Structures are given as structure tokens and as C-alpha cells.
Structure 1
């Protein structure tokens, strides 16, 4: 039998009693005790303060002092060792006093050789083991929280210089200042983007570990999904002179319900790895579906004729930062996070990734996920022809009615309008929530109400959240679909609570938008819910404009609050290239001083971490002192919209910032 190790302290001024207690402890064969013996209260307190023992046997009578005094002092100095009081004779009052003072038990010395003594020792040791496990768990949780805070801070600190590296490189490539250096600039840009992708991998892994990464499942046209995947990775395979083969061993679902982005991320990681370590031959993707009761098991086998994986490394390849190739001699770049992230994402989706490999002959990675509610009649044998997808999309049922599309970005507005028109619907556009309200009132007065609204969430003047609340207050009951890029936990539920009927994620999936519109329009028509408002809408929001010169009359006036000099200068240049008037503050205090000179700003770009303030805490102060179109938080980490809303911040931008992101302000 394996003995448990335990360190025990005996505080006893009678040597005979110490010897008897030690002998009786030796009879507890399931424990191997390391015993320390002291005879004075001072010696006892000195050792108890160190918290190095698993248990203490404390004599009640220690010369002029009693064990109760030692017990009380040990409790005050936060001693975590379970203490059993030893007494010469049974005394109910003494026993109660010992328990009240913090002892876990009491034992009469005449019971040293009795079962009661053995039970008391075992109970105290079990209690100590539970306490140790609790403290260890708290310590691990504290370390995990510290790691999350560190990663969030590291993300911010890395994204700030990346903003300058990528931004200035793009500016140089767009200018004619250094045409001879364009090849070198492209190398800098490509490697900067690669560094950003590695940073995103680390953050993905930290989100998974902290249980903060949320899946956003939705319907996926399976054949379209697979063709898109094959098309994307065929280029990489062709560059290496190998074939990328896509096969299906039987019927598979026409449509699946999964998180498209994350499933795509897993498969790209697995297929790209196979291509990366294959120099000749092929990489094959074999898809199989097996229906069991009402659930379908989807299996993706990604096999290759590459280098293979040594048997001794197979158990570790799904661990973070582990790589098959030696760190010094390997030819391929990466942080060794792709397989770890893929494995964790598969688990989160209720699936698994396994691998078989033979060194020198190739490997086969197998992804298995469960697809619920798949029925045999929804299965089909796919030919994987791109034309089939186009036909499926073109075959979408025609819809009727007039739709209002609301988005502040012209490109997105036109794209969504084009998609909606392809459904047979007529389209009217609005650039923000306020304009949408005005348009609804006008169309309603003309007797031509909208059948539905497709509206972006983040817009200037009045965002989608405020707009939908005003529409519902006014009595408009037409279906309203939210367009959003937010993927945080609970976002869909929050939007539906505000009054949206459905939520469609960006980038917009044509089939999904058609499904939602079709469903909502059918429901609205059957219920005849298009009603004229009984009450007036909220008054139009008029933002008081500052006194402007003719040169700045039409310019977008931006306050940029950023402590990093290089990042501030770059962002200012990018905004000015878009026609904005920009004023820079490097501290929270300086930003508040700028408000005294100008009470109106189209937007405030506010860094999250400033030397004298937090952007989250500074935002309400700015809103209280000035008329601001919107406050945008610039951060190195993702922040839930609910946190931003509480501070009056309309949205956030993730560093590094580029020109395309800044165009959304203008």
C-alpha cells in the first residue's frame, strides 16, 4: 500500500506523552509521518506561523500558559494548519472553549491508542488536503486572470507599433516618394501582416482558455462552403506543384448549421498544414456524412503524401507552441498555434480532431463534428461544380415589397441593395438612423410604407440601436433586420430586446438574408402588421454645428486622443488624406482642454490606455462637456459592446488602424 506523506507538529512539554503519541501515530499505517516536537508556546507559534505542517497536536497545559492562548494567537496570525487540542482529562467546558478558539477537534491523552484518536488524525488530514486543493485552485485562477490581463495589455502594446509599421508602409506604397523601394516595402507590409496574424492566433487561444470565445452558428450551404474552401487553397497547392483533391464518399447535407467562420478556420489550418509539409504528390479532402437517429456525424479527412510526423511527437502536436519541425532547422514559419486553436475550436463545436501518421509517407487529420436535425431527405450527392452554387442562389424564391436599406458606408449600402434587388424587392436607401426615421415618415404619409428594414448597427448621428427604439416607440411594427459585425456573447439577444426581429452577421450571406426576409415578410403579411404610427416620432436630432470657415465648412472635424507620438501622427495623416480636420491630444487632460476651444466634434478617436486616464472612463466626461457625433474607442483588445454602451461609446476599433477603417468615420 502506498503511504501518504504528512508533516506533523507536536506541542507537548511532557516527553513521555510525546513518545506515547508518536508510537500511536506509527500505528496509522496509511500515513508516513515526519514529526517535529517543541515544548514551549513561543517555539510552537514560530513554527505555526510558517504554515509548513499538515496538522498540529497541541497540549492544553504548557507550563504557565494554556494551549488556548497559543490557539488564539495562531488564529490571529492566520495559521492554516488544523490543530487538535490534547487534554489530560475530559472536560466539556474546556472542549467547547478549544473548538470556539479554532481547534478542529480535541482528544483526551488516555485515548491515544483508541479508534477515536485515529479518526481525529485522519479527519484533520483530510480537511487539510481539501484546504490545500482549494488554495491551489484559487492560485491557478489568479494566475489565469493575471495571464489574461497580461495578454490584453500585450495585445495593446503590440498593436500600437504595428499601426505605424503597416500604416506608413501603405502610405509609401500609395505615394510616389519611393518607387524604387516598392519590392522592399511589400516585404515589410507582408511580414507586418503576418505578425498581426500571429498576434490574432495568440488572442484566439487566450479567449478559448478564458471561455470568452463565442460561436455564432447559422445555416451554411455546404456545397458552396466546400467549393469556396477548395478554390481558396488550390492556389497554395499549385504554387508547390501538388494537387488538392476534394471528394465525397456519399450523400452529405445540403445545408449545415455551424459557425461558418470558425469551421472555415479549422479546415484552412488543417489543409494549409498538409500543403505546407507536402513537397510532391497530393493533399486530399474527403467528406463523409453518417446519419444516426436525428443527428448527422460529419467527417473531414485531410490526408497528404508529405513528410509525416514522428511517432513520439503525435501526442504533443495539439499543444500550444508545439511544432513538428525543429525550431532551428525548420523551413516553415509560424508560432505553432494553428493546430492547438483548431483542436480547441473543434471541442467547442462538440467535435474532435485526431491524427494518424507515418514518418516519410504522410499524415491524415480527421475532423468530426455532430450536425443536429439533419434528415435523410436533405442529403444529396454533390458534384462540387461552381456553377451549381450560382444556380442555387439564382433559384431563390422571388419576394415582393419595398425595403429600406440603412448603412453609413456607401459600398456596403450598395452591396446590400444589390442583393435585396436580386430577391425581386425594390430598395430605398438611408445613410443613418435619423435619415431612416425621416424616410419612414415620408413614405408612410405617401401611403407607401416599407415592407421591412435592413439596418446597420454602427452609424453616425443616430445608430441602429437608437433608431429601432424610436421606430418601435412610434408604433411601427414592420420587420427590422440588424446588420452587425459584432460576435460577442449575448449580442443577438440584446438587439432583439431593443426591437430587431432578426440579426444577420457581416459579411452578409445572401442565402441567409433571403431566408430571414422571406420568413419575416410572410409572417408580417399574414398578421397584417404594417400600421401607421398613432404617435409622433421623436423630434429630429439637430447637432449644433461650430462656427466654421469656408475652408473647413464641409470637413469632418475629428479629435484624436493618442499618447503614442508615431501612431498619432500616422492616424492624423490618414484622416487628413480623407479630408478631415484633425486635432491631436496626447493625454486625457489635453483632450478636455481642447473641448474649451471647440464644443462640436464629428467624432472623437479615443485610445483606451492613456498615461493619465482610461479611455473608458474619459468618454463620459467628454460627452458631458461637448457635442460629439460619436466616440470611437481605439484598443488593442476586443471589448463587449455592452461595456461601450454603458460609457456612451458608439463602437471600437481594433489596432492596428488603417485607412479603410477610418473611412467609416467620414
Structure 2
């Protein structure tokens, strides 16, 4: 308070008392007062109602008026500052009445020359500061709650139309009627996914700012996690003609304690940036451990041979909404949130991130996390250049045949091809069944038949089933392996009848892929175990879902996607409609509940459904992550975050 001027209102009808009070106030060296003097009670009430003073000294006797009435009306009109009642003589009843009316203290004027006056003033001002801080805190908390509600609503409102955009685009891309528009549909799909990633970044940043981002730490297989990241990023690197290498010069812990999802997010973000800004050369990812401040930390470095970052830019790239793309490369975009989020996440993982970069030479990001106590954890030299599930197979499996990979999705086609090519086989590609037939026919004509064909079932122009029938008609005798997301009971027997030898379910299990190669085209053949009738499967005719969704577009596309996966889907458009449907029919394997319905909240509906039908499996579908405590209390089996796509629904069905 030394440098702050305290605005004080003195309501006093005696000029001598006004002068004496000002003298006493000047003697309080720790405060500087700006005193406004009023003698009229009505005028005082009006001024106090404006709430522009920090403190008020109010005389009990104001001519014929009662200071208590001024006090009561001032408080009633909203004056928030402390009021100290002044009187000529001590009166316990008046003291009590003043405090009851809202005064913070009661002083006899003869005491104003004593230390009690100074203490009363200091106490009143301190109380005002505490109250102001409380009001500001409550205001900030209210604003944060409002912000959280807005972000949750915004997330839901954006994810719902994204579900329709991405879902319908997926269906159109699979339809044979739209082969002429595959490029345009691909643009829509990629940009929709990009928009979703930006939305996720904004929401992550808002959680960080509100200190609501929680880490879910558990034991993590480091080798498997790194292999997952390698598999995801390898195709992007190869598409740009870059080499991506993962390496370690020392034995690393097999198990660490960390948030696997967030660690994977960090590594993918930084590696993806390296690929974006590198046009020639390689990206090398290294891992090692080192002791820092009596704790063993896990380190990663991502080094590229890309454009490099100017020194003046290096200081700001870890700040939100800062980009180097507009300066360095016009063809790379983004909201400039990725590195800021990585930095914040690493701080929460008790680590850090740093950068060394030279323009025209490349950049190296070094990051660290605390992996938990790994003193007694088993260690070994990890090989990140392949998936640990098929690492041994890669070193022992050698093929020399010719393989045709047929898939309309370029990323999947190239990924499967690279895996097969790593065993020594010659790989060719086709984008649909018609191209596959043409390539097989040309190979037969030239005496260079394909030893095995891997073919997707659902493709534009001609699907895998139709193509296989034609291939068998034209005399192709080699093994044909179906690549399919459908693993329902009876699928294998249907495919066998059409001429397939085996099938591999999507998402692709690389171990099974190598097993198939070993069985069908290698010397030491094994029994096929890829598709067995006794494996867990979904019965197409008996699987039924109830979808509770008020947005008709979102409901329709989710229904179409589910039915494309063999799930009969009934739609209820409201809280009431859901209860009416369940009243007459409870034969649903799962009930999918939207969070926000026109006549109620999804969580309230979940609570009521659980009470009425405790055996039903409930799944919350939301545009924003619900509070974990509420989900746990309601015994919700799963939460799906919009936008809904085939991948999510496939996992839901298989789960």
C-alpha cells in the first residue's frame, strides 16, 4: 500500500471533526489518502452507491439523520468497501447495531489519536484487499468455467459435422461409382483430418492453460512404442524419398513408466515436422539414458538434414501460434501449436526439450522425460528399425518371389509393399481389381507370373472379390490373400469359396503378414494360422446397436458406417425416444449415447438407462472428453470422441 493512494470518503457534518480526522490520517505514514468530505446523508448514499472509494468513515450523528440508515442503504445499494462508524461516545448497543448493519468497526472519536485508529484503518483496508482478491478469484473461476463450457460446446459442435464430412467421404471413396472423383475425395478427407488435428491441438493447449491436462502413466514397453512410431512415420518419409532411422548406442530399459499416448504424440509431432522440412537426406532418431540431478532420465534426439531454423526463430517456436512455415516453406502449414504442446507435455513429464539448428544444414531436437525408477529394470539393445513382433522373422525370413499388392489407399499399399520388399521379394502395385487383373495377365504373358497376390476387398472400379473370381477364371493358380477389415464369422468360408487362400485382418498385423509369406512362398512351409474359424468373431446377423443422436446427418453417417461393418443400427433422436425404444426392445449389444440431446443430457440418460436396464452396455459419443469421474460413477463401458470413423467403429465392434 506504500505507493497506492487510498480513496477515502468521510461522511461528517462537523468541520472541526473533518479537520482533526484529516490530521490523524496524515499521521499514518504507511498510507496516502485522497479524502472526499460529504456532510449530506442523501448525497453520501449516492456517492457510496458508485463504489469508487476504498474505505468510508461514517459519523453516527449527521444533524437530524441517523448514520445507521446511511450505512444500511449504502450496503443495500452495493457498496463493497469497508465502513467504519464514528461516534462521540461509547455505546455498546450502537456498536452492535453498526456491526449488524454492515460496518467493519466502531470507533469513538476520542480514540482517533490513539493506535487503535491506525489499527482499525489498516485492518479495514486489508479486509478490503482480501475481499477484492476473493471477488477477482471468483470472477476468474467463473470465467474459466464459462471458457470450459464454451470449449466443450465448440468441440462438440465442430466434431459433429466433421463426423459427417469424414464419414461420407470414406463411404464415397469406397464406392465404385466415384472412381472419377478419387483425387477430389482424397483432398476432402486429408483436409478434414488436418482440421481435426488442429482442433485437437487447440483443445490440448486450452487444457494446458487451465491446468486440466492429466497424464495417465503406466508401464510401457519402450521397444513396442518406438516400433509403433517408426511404422507410422516410415511411409511418410519414404513418400518424400527420405531415410528414417531409429538407433540406440546403449542398452535401454525394456519397460518405462510414462504416458504412452502423450509420449507417442510428442515423438510423432517432432518427427513429422522433421519430414515436412526436409527435402533430401535423412531423419535419425536416437535414444539413450543419462543421469541428471541424481535421477536417470530417458533422452531422445530427432536429427534431420532439412532447411534448418534461423537463430531469431529458434527462440519462439516453442510458443503457441508461432510458425516458421510461412518464412521457410510456403507449402507447409499448421496452427503453430505442436511444439508448444510438446514443450508443455514434456514439462509435465518432468523433462524438457531443446534445439540446435543451422540454416541449410538441418536441425536436432533433444528431449527428455523421467521414465520412473528404472534402476532394476531389464535392459537390452533395442532395434527400432523394425516391429519387435516380427523382428526375428525379418532376420530369418528371406524370399525371392514376385508379389502383387493391391489396395486403393496409397499409404497402406506402400506400407505393405515395403514390409514385403524388406524380405527380398520383388513387389509391384495395383490400385484396384481391374489393374490387378491387367498386371497378372501381362506377367503371365511375359512368363513372369506373380508368386502371391495380396488384395484389398473394397476398392473403386473393381473390388477384391470380383477381381479374384476373374483371376481364377483366367487360370491364375497362385495364392491370393485377402486384406480386409471384416473379421466376422463366416467371412473366411465365403472368401475360400470365391477363390481366396487366406486372409489378413486390418489393421495389418505385420507378424501375420510374414507368417503368410513364409507359408505360401518360402521353402520351409508352415501351417496357416492367419484366419481360423475358431478366432473371435462378430456374428453379422445378431449384432444390434441403438444409436441416440439428434443430429440427423451424424446419425445417418454413423448408421451407414456401422451397417457397412455388419451391425444393424436403430436410431433414436432424443432422450425420450431412447427410453421409448428401450421400453419395447432391449435386444441391443451396445447403446451409443450422444452427450447433448435436445431434451436432456447424455450422462443423465445413461444414469436412467443403467437403472432401468443394468445389463445394457453403454457407450458415450461426445465432441469433448467427459469428466472421468462422471464416467466412472455411471459405469460407462467406453467413450468415443467425435468425429466417428470406420477405424473407431471397427475397434468398438471388435472390443
Superposed displacement of residue 558, structure 1: 4.2
How far apart in 1 are the matches of 2:258 and 2:508?
16
Question: Larger deviation: 97-106 or 170-179?
Answer: 97-106
Superposed displacement of residue 11, structure 1: 1.4
TM-score normalised according to structure 1 size: 0.66
How far apart in 2 are the matches of 1:662 and 1:646?
24
The residue matched to 2:643 in structure 1 has which SS? Answer: coil
Deviations 1:188-227 (A, max 9, x none): 1111111122222233333444554433333344455445
How far apart in 2 are the matches of 1:553 and 1:388?
34
How far apart in 1 are the matches of 2:49 and 2:342?
48
1:333/1:350 Cα in 2 relative to 1: closer, same or farther (>3 Å)? same
Aligned to 1:515: none
1:640/1:140 Cα in 2 relative to 1: closer, same or farther (>3 Å)? closer
Aligned to 1:178: 178
- Aligned counterpart for 1:618 among listed residues 575, 591, 605: 605
How far apart in 2 are the matches of 1:231 and 1:320?
29
Aligned to 1:431: none
- Aligned counterpart for 2:640 among listed residues 642, 649, 653: 653
1:220/1:581 Cα in 2 relative to 1: closer, same or farther (>3 Å)? closer
How do 1:125-164 residues align onto structure 2 when only pairs under 5 Å count? 125-164=125-164
1:390/1:181 Cα in 2 relative to 1: closer, same or farther (>3 Å)? closer
Would you say 1:606 and 2:598 are equivalent positions? no
How far apart in 2 are the matches of 1:266 and 1:78?
51
Whether the aligned pair in 2 keeps the contact of 1:619 and 1:648 (CA below 8 Å) is no
How far apart in 2 are the matches of 1:270 and 1:391?
25
- Aligned counterpart for 2:624 among listed residues 632, 637, 650: 637
Aligned to 2:202: 202
Deviations 1:4-40 (A, max 9, x none): 2322222122233223333443444443433333222
How far apart in 1 are the matches of 2:393 and 2:51?
70
1:140/1:323 Cα in 2 relative to 1: closer, same or farther (>3 Å)? farther
1:634/1:298 Cα in 2 relative to 1: closer, same or farther (>3 Å)? closer
Aligned to 2:271: 271
Whether the aligned pair in 1 keeps the contact of 2:298 and 2:371 (CA below 8 Å) is yes
Deviations 1:160-196 (A, max 9, x none): 1111111111111111121100111011111111112
How far apart in 2 are the matches of 1:20 and 1:241?
88
1:562/1:245 Cα in 2 relative to 1: closer, same or farther (>3 Å)? closer
How do 1:260-659 residues align onto structure 2 when only pairs under 5 Å count? 260-278=260-278, 283=283, 285-291=285-291, 295-303=295-303, 316-325=316-325, 331-355=331-355, 364-375=364-375, 386=386, 554=541, 556-594=543-581, 598=585, 600-619=587-606, 629-639=616-626, 643-644=630-631, 647=634, 650-659=637-646
Whether the aligned pair in 2 keeps the contact of 1:603 and 1:628 (CA below 8 Å) is no
Aligned to 1:58: 58
Structure 2: tracts of 5 or more residues without a match: 395-506, 512-538
How far apart in 2 are the matches of 1:645 and 1:377?
32
TM-score normalised according to structure 2 size: 0.67
Whether the aligned pair in 2 keeps the contact of 1:169 and 1:188 (CA below 8 Å) is yes
The residue matched to 1:333 in structure 2 has which SS? Answer: coil
1:393/1:298 Cα in 2 relative to 1: closer, same or farther (>3 Å)? farther
How far apart in 1 are the matches of 2:110 and 2:609?
76
Aligned to 2:191: 191
1:33/1:311 Cα in 2 relative to 1: closer, same or farther (>3 Å)? farther
Deviations 1:145-170 (A, max 9, x none): 11111111111111111111111111
Deviations 1:251-288 (A, max 9, x none): 65454222222112122223333443455666554544
How far apart in 2 are the matches of 1:566 and 1:581?
18
Question: Larger deviation: 618-627 or 76-85?
Answer: 618-627
Superposed displacement of residue 142, structure 1: 1.3
1:53/1:586 Cα in 2 relative to 1: closer, same or farther (>3 Å)? same
Whether the aligned pair in 1 keeps the contact of 2:285 and 2:300 (CA below 8 Å) is yes
Count of aligned residue pairs for this structure pair: 513
How far apart in 1 are the matches of 2:7 and 2:245?
64
Would you say 1:36 and 2:23 are equivalent positions? no
1:559/1:251 Cα in 2 relative to 1: closer, same or farther (>3 Å)? closer
Whether the aligned pair in 1 keeps the contact of 2:60 and 2:86 (CA below 8 Å) is yes
Whether the aligned pair in 1 keeps the contact of 2:618 and 2:636 (CA below 8 Å) is yes
1:346/1:5 Cα in 2 relative to 1: closer, same or farther (>3 Å)? farther
The residue matched to 1:638 in structure 2 has which SS? Answer: coil
Would you say 1:106 and 2:106 are equivalent positions? yes
Question: Larger deviation: 112-121 or 129-138?
Answer: 112-121
1:624/1:373 Cα in 2 relative to 1: closer, same or farther (>3 Å)? closer
Whether the aligned pair in 2 keeps the contact of 1:555 and 1:579 (CA below 8 Å) is no
The residue matched to 2:176 in structure 1 has which SS? Answer: coil
Superposed displacement of residue 584, structure 1: 3.2
State the Cα RMSD in Å: 4.0
Larger Rg: 2
Aligned to 2:4: 4
1:359/1:108 Cα in 2 relative to 1: closer, same or farther (>3 Å)? farther
1:584/1:309 Cα in 2 relative to 1: closer, same or farther (>3 Å)? same
The residue matched to 1:177 in structure 2 has which SS? Answer: helix
Structure 1: tracts of 5 or more residues without a match: 395-505, 511-551
How far apart in 2 are the matches of 1:10 and 1:358?
68
Whether the aligned pair in 2 keeps the contact of 1:600 and 1:627 (CA below 8 Å) is no
Whether the aligned pair in 2 keeps the contact of 1:585 and 1:591 (CA below 8 Å) is yes
Whether the aligned pair in 1 keeps the contact of 2:550 and 2:598 (CA below 8 Å) is yes
The residue matched to 2:177 in structure 1 has which SS? Answer: coil
How far apart in 2 are the matches of 1:255 and 1:590?
49
Aligned to 1:439: none
1:329/1:553 Cα in 2 relative to 1: closer, same or farther (>3 Å)? closer
Whether the aligned pair in 2 keeps the contact of 1:302 and 1:364 (CA below 8 Å) is yes
Deviations 1:444-500 (A, max 9, x none): xxxxxxxxxxxxxxxxxxxxxxxxxxxxxxxxxxxxxxxxxxxxxxxxxxxxxxxxx
